[in-house]
Amino acid sequence: MNLTLAYHPVEALRFDASTRLDGTTLDIDVDDLRGLLLEDEAFEDIAFEFVAPDEDCRAGPVFDIIEPRAKAASSSPDFPGILGPPLTAGMGTTHVLSGMAVTVLDEHAAGGSRGSIGRVLEMTGPAAEGSCYSKLHHLVVIPRMAPGRDGPAAQRAKRVAGLKAAVHLARAVASDAPGESRTFEPVDPGPPGRPGLPRVAYVGQIFSRQRRAELDEPVLYGHNTTGMLPVLLHPDEWLDGGVVTSYYTSMGGAETYLYQNHPIITELYRRHHAGELNFVGTVASIAGSDNTDRDRNCHAAAALVQWALKADAAVLTKYGGGVPHADLAETARLLETAGIRTSVMVSDVSRDRRVESALLFNFPELNAIVYGGGNDTRWQVPPAGRVIAATPAVGELLAGVRELGAMNVAGVTNQQGASRLRAVVY
């Protein structure tokens, strides 16, 4: 596997009669794009808006954020298992419209624990400073579902529409010369090319069975993860569309954009290239629905890290809410028992801001913990100059927001490693 990312920088979006990159301005034929997306009868209509970095604008609730990417001819498929056959991702060249994103809105916030505004795209002000998304140009996709299309059917439609739009835009540059290319140094669990450097693996949860996955909810190569055991993935499979987020990201947040630009995988690659470690591969896992499920998953994940990747060290992340911390911790404990050193990243569960409420595990060997913050960061925000939402009611709600919590701003808190907000003990 040897993925090449061909970057085409975008510094402006412009409505035009055809979709093409003119210098660094992306012209978008939105009628053409709308026509493409409305092939799915789940939509009654779809609207588009452009948003620029640092613009006085708020959009939400965010369903997903995707980086526009398209595979070059004779490479692996785009978003395999969803838009194409489920063949191995990460092969050949992928064209990337860098500096921008396709941001799909929900019609209303998904039910659950984050309040009625869900997670918003906040482009300016103090709340935006902590988010990588405020520095991007966004094509905001605003769906209106056809009558009767709600629940899983609507979620599936929005997922596919976002990915299709992302691929469609990037196809426009597939025959252009990129501004810059990056080919990843081969990573594999084979004999260590550089003896003396620690062999490091990544173990990432991609779903939590606190929810039952919808039948056609695509997460891993289009599969909904039900019944899956931990699986070895090449790092490039994460970066190249093999994994997308679940319909619900719950505590902390996760977006497809940050799988494509996975902060942990890109960091491990950076250190690998810098000669600080040997990046030997990754394991994708899920948080179990019961103890049997949990034990099976944790043991299988640990065994892959130990026997297939022969790692000396592993970094682990969770997905979903509170219970997945138990799966994360159990996997790390098994690794530690096997002599593999671990560090783990957890999300902020301490609502009374006490250390005693901060962790959902207590294994002494799990003594390297990265703790994301979020529960006591709130900003007073002025009325947004421009509000983008799928319905007038939600628009009014977003316009009236005077206070925003870190958990409600996409990118400020994040389970994939992008957040710079941490909790400190005092």
Site for another protein in 364-383 (CB under 8 A): 364, 366-377
Phi then psi for 58, rounded to 5 degrees? -135, 135
Binding another protein by CB under 8 A: which of 342, 379, 398, 410?
342
Contact between 245 and another protein by CB under 8 A: the answer reads no
Neighbour order of strands in the sheet with 231-233: 231-233, 278-287, 199-208, 313-317, 341-346, 369-371
Query: Which of 118-129 are b and which e, b meaning 16 or more Cβ less than 10 Å from the residue's Cβ?
Result: bbbbbbbbebbe
Token digits of residue 367? 């003594």
Q: Which stretch binds another protein (CB under 8 A): 80-88, 173-181, 183-191, 341-349?
A: 341-349
Residues 117-136: x where in contact with another protein by CB under 8 A, - otherwise, as a string: -------------x------
Q: Which stretch binds another protein (CB under 8 A): 89-97, 235-243, 316-324, 385-393?
A: 316-324
Q: CB of residue 268 vs another protein: minimum separation in angstroms?
A: 6
Q: Looking at beta carbons only, is 171 or 341 nearer to another protein?
A: 341
Beta-strand ranges (E) seen in 129-242 are 137-145, 180-183, 199-208, 231-233
Closest CA to 46 of 59, 61, 32: 32
How far is CA 143 from each of CA 63, 106, 139, 160, 219, rounded to the nearest angstrom?
A: 10, 7, 13, 12, 21
Of residues 180 through 209, those in contact with another protein by CB under 8 A are: 198, 200, 209
Contact between 354 and another protein by CB under 8 A: the answer reads yes
How many other C-beta atoms lie within 10 A of the C-beta of residue 3? 22
Q: CB of residue 185 vs another protein: minimum separation in angstroms?
A: 16
Of residues 258 through 287, those in contact with another protein by CB under 8 A are: 263-264, 266-268, 271, 276-277
Binding another protein by CB under 8 A: which of 52, 83, 146, 360?
360
Contact between 18 and another protein by CB under 8 A: the answer reads no
Q: CB of residue 132 vs another protein: minimum separation in angstroms?
A: 9
Binding another protein by CB under 8 A: which of 18, 181, 357, 380?
357
Is the bond preceding residue 61 a cis peptide, omega within 30 degrees? yes
